[in-house]
Amino acid sequence: MVKELDEKAEALPDHVGWRLWQASRAWQAQFAAAMRATGHSWFSEARAGLLGHIPRGGTRQAALIERAATTKQAVQQLLDGLEAEGVLERLPDPRDGRGKLVRYTRKGLDALRDGDRIKLQIELGYIGRIGEQRFAALMDALRALDAARGDVPETAAAAQDETSESN
């Protein structure tokens, strides 16, 4: 643990984006580690991101693509992997000959259950670290931020023209 301090440890960034990123990474690392330690070795952060968009009752693959903010190919490849792992299964959609329904297998539902438990444990740890009030304020701010998406007409430079609907 010999740390040279000849270079006066210049400060790391301290703005919302950086803080959010660091906090998000920390949470995910902790969660993923716990999931793997619980036996779900197939678990990865990318897969978690997709699973978060799949309700327990299952969904249409096309609906998933809308929810997750990626391409249908990315979604499909993640689904391929999760299906190969036996976490999900795809069935033909009886109401649309083109579509597929995605739903959890028993294994997948077990993982969700364990995930919920781990999630609560991590939350408790957070509350222990910063107190209930701060934690509540954090959740409140994050929810408010999410709810206000799309409001406030982009302050110039943030040109995010999402127009094309191809691919």
Which listed option, DNA, a second copy, none, makes contact with residue 109 (CB within 5 to 8 Å by class)?
none
Q: Which does 163 bind (CB under 5 to 8 A by kind): a second copy, DNA, none?
A: none
Nearer to DNA, 62 or 112 (CB): 62
Shortest distance (Å) from residue 85 CB to a second copy: 20
**Is position 77 an interface residue for DNA (rule: CB under 7 A)?**
yes
Q: Is 74 in the site for DNA (CB under 7 A)?
A: yes
Smallest distance, DNA to C-beta of residue 27, A: 16
CA angle 35, 40, 46 (to 5 degrees): 70
Structure tokens at 40: 């779900």
Determine contact, residues 129/92, Cβ cutoff 8 Å: no
Under the criterion CB under 7 A, does residue 89 sit at the interface with DNA? no
| Nearer to a second copy (CB atom), residue 20 or residue 91 | 20
> What does each C-alpha distance from 142 to 9, 139, 145 come to in angstroms?
31, 5, 5
Q: How far apart are CA 17 and CA 37, in angstroms?
A: 30
Site string for DNA, 16-45 (x = CB under 7 A): ----------------------------xx
Task: Count the alpha carbons within 13 Å of 142 in the hemisphere toward its beta carbon.
Answer: 11
Any idea which residue has 């330690």 for tokens?
Answer: 37
Quote the CA–CA distance of 123 and 117 in Å, as a whole number.
10
Residues that bind DNA (CB under 7 A): 44-47, 49, 60-62, 65, 70-74, 76-79, 81, 90, 93, 96-100, 165, 167
